Amino acid sequence: MREINLGVREGEIVLLAGRSGSGKSSLIRVINGLIPFFYEGSFAGQIILSGEDITDFSPRNRLRKGIATVSQFPEDQILARKVWRAVAFGLANLGFSREEIIKRVREALKFVDMWEYWDRETLSLSAGQKQKVVLAAALALQPKVLLLDEPTSQLDPLSAQKFLLSLSIIRDELDVTIIVAEHRFDELTMIADKVVLIENGEVIAEGPPKHIFASNIPKEIGIGYPKLAMLSRILFSDNEIVLSVSEFRKKLDEKKCKVFRTYSVPKVSDVLRNSSDAVVLEDVWFAYDKEWILKNVSFRIGEGAFVAIVGPNGAGKTTLLKLISGIHKPVKGRVLIYGKDSRKLKLNELIGLVGYMPQNPEEIFFNDTVFDEIAFALRMQRVPLEKIKERVLEIAKLLGISHLLKESPFNISGGEKLRVALASILVLDPKILLLDEPTRGIDWNTKYTFFSKIREVLSSKTIILATHDIELLAELPIDKIVLVSEGEIVKEGDKRILADSVIENHKLVRPKIAHLMDMLGVRGVVSIEEAAKIIRCVEWSYQR
């Protein structure tokens, strides 16, 4: 980071935006003191809090002064077994009296609506509840400044939306200044006073959300826009950015825009209609520790289809992928992979038939170079050396990572890690590719580019993606959506499911565009591209 000059007023909500690895987390660490007290390096400059120079204050002293932090991984910030103990942890370390701690813990848990869980074990909570516990722990300290480093990256959409919208209540009721680094702009741009754009460790722009998202800078640095801002940039002139659905509707009236309600949404794709079955689940049941994780699950996936398994945290998405992989077998029912019962398929038969990419691509890396990482699976198959080289170069070229072959897979960017992990799996040419939410916590452009590339280069493969990123799915060329909740299939069909209100009964949030189009009387439209075809404005058309 260099030459950061940033002022935040008391009571402001500031959104730090930038690509993954741009320096947002580092800026937060500079404010809370982890830099330079925990992460050593060359440090120069001053940090001023309410007129007091706190540059030489350690993280603990900054905590005493009122700077609290909530990080990206709630489970790593909870250092106690019981909820109330986790909330009391910071206060106890600062030596507050027992009575004061108990009073503050009760208030903080009530504020985040978690009082009824006060004596629960933290391990039994969902990711959203854990993040609320961490937030309560921070609020119990009665901070002046609350720092949030991608606090929603591990949460399902509804928990994330509620969490982000609660920030304005925290600001208003508790008089706290909030600085939040986030990739989800849709909610935050409605409540933030200021957006700070960071690129390569420098602040390149700052200002009110409408001003920032009216400019081309977000596009240039590749962070994307809030969905409604994207649509308004297409429909209206660049400086007329709209960030909320109600405001959007007013603007359409003002501009005398027309809505073509006769637009027919594309129906079931050809891939689904004409293909043979790649995967079939017939009345599948699965249990861990005598608890049913999947109950009576049945669906089919056609060969070459791009299918998304959608559901909130803990719905059973990863378990479904484990069963489709053939490695785990169902307790009851059948999983057929290309017509063969998974119980009868041996590991040797599954290798090269199914590939699995975990949430964190780093979890499969263990070689010194990207080349060796990609070549590993072929070496295990005893493929001749010349062929290995040929195949690695071919796959690296296809995924645009030829320049990384001599690099360590651990020392490349988040987007590059994704592509290297994908190459390491695709090198065996599996017919079915399972993706277990591999783009969690990654900026919009990186994940959108990744999936677009996948679809482009792997058009013949069956791709099954488990995710709860509804906004991303809305923009991707998905053939089929399977909605899972509490281990059961709730609904399946094409992308229009995302616009269905049933989504909201399962801790998910409908895409912003679907909300807008519903208000305009057109149902089933979820993507910006479709919306722009339906709405036509006289003075500024998307066709320009």
Partner 1 sequence: MVLPKIISYVERDSVWHRANPCTKLLIVTTLVFSPWISERFLLSALIILAISLIMSKSMRDLTHIYTVILVFSVIFLPLNTLLYSSLIKEKTYLLKPWITLEGLLLAVIALMRIVIGLLAIGLFFVTTSPEELEDFLLRLKFPASFILALTVSTMFAPMLLEEITRIKMAQSLRGAFRGGFINRIKAYARVLGIPLIVSALRRAIRLAEAIELWGAPSPNRTVFTSISFKKEDMVLISMLAFLVSLCTLVPF
Q: Among 6-14, 71-79, 228-236, 261-269, which window interacts with partner 1 (CB under 8 A)?
A: 71-79
As a dihedral over the C-alpha atoms of residue 216, residue 218, residue 223, residue 227, rounded to 10 degrees, the angle is: -70
Determine contact, residues 458/451, Cβ cutoff 8 Å.
no
Q: Is 309 in the site for partner 1 (CB under 8 A)?
A: no
For the chain, first and last CA: distance in Å?
39
Chain center to CA of 144: 28
Q: Among 16-24, 59-67, 178-186, 216-224, which window interacts with partner 1 (CB under 8 A)?
A: 59-67
Q: Which of 129, 424, 485, 527 binds partner 1 (CB under 8 A)?
A: 424
Instruction: Tell the residue number behind the tokens 């909300």, with chain if given.
Output: 515
Q: Which of 158, 243, 272, 350 binds partner 1 (CB under 8 A)?
A: 350
Determine contact, residues 189/209, Cβ cutoff 8 Å.
yes
Beta-carbon contacts of 391 under 8 Å, excluding residues fewer than 6 positions away, are 378, 383, 427
Question: Phi and psi for 67 in degrees, rounded to 5?
Answer: -110, 110
# chain residues binding partner 1, by CB under 8 A: 68
Q: In this structure, are strands 202-207 and 13-17 parallel, antiparallel, or unpaired?
A: unpaired
Closest CA to 194 of 10, 441, 445: 10
Compute the least distance from the CB of residue 281 to partner 1, in Å. Answer: 18
In the complex with partner 1, the residue whose CB is nearer, 47 or 534, is: 47
Q: Is 43 in the site for partner 1 (CB under 8 A)?
A: no
Determine contact, residues 219/225, Cβ cutoff 8 Å.
yes
Classified as helix, coil or strand, 483 is: strand
Q: Is 76 in the site for partner 1 (CB under 8 A)?
A: yes
Q: Which of 5, 42, 97, 543 binds partner 1 (CB under 8 A)?
A: 97
Compute the least distance from the CB of residue 340 to partner 1, in Å. Answer: 16
Q: How many CB atoms lie within 10 A of CB 509?
A: 22
Compute the least distance from the CB of residue 33 to partner 1, in Å. Answer: 8
Chain center to CA of 81: 27
In the complex with partner 1, the residue whose CB is nearer, 258 or 379, is: 379
Q: Which of 4, 49, 327, 412 binds partner 1 (CB under 8 A)?
A: 327
Q: Is 88 in the site for partner 1 (CB under 8 A)?
A: yes
Q: Which of 11, 38, 43, 110 binds partner 1 (CB under 8 A)?
A: 38
Determine contact, residues 10/177, Cβ cutoff 8 Å.
yes
Write the DSSP symbol of residue 506: G
In the complex with partner 1, the residue whose CB is nearer, 215 or 367, is: 367
In the complex with partner 1, the residue whose CB is nearer, 34 or 204, is: 34
Q: Which of 6, 8, 49, 80 binds partner 1 (CB under 8 A)?
A: 80
Amino acid at 28: I
In the complex with partner 1, the residue whose CB is nearer, 461 or 510, is: 461
Question: Phi and psi for 176 in degrees, rounded to 5?
Answer: -110, 140
Q: Is 355 in the site for partner 1 (CB under 8 A)?
A: yes
Closest CA to 100 of 65, 141, 67: 141
Q: Among 46-54, 82-90, 167-175, 509-517, which window interacts with partner 1 (CB under 8 A)?
A: 82-90
* Residue ranges that bind partner 1, judged by CB under 8 A: 32-34, 37-38, 59-60, 63-64, 68-69, 71, 73, 75-82, 85, 88-98, 101, 122-123, 137, 322, 325, 327-328, 347-348, 350-352, 354-360, 362-366, 376-377, 380-381, 410, 424-425, 428, 430, 436
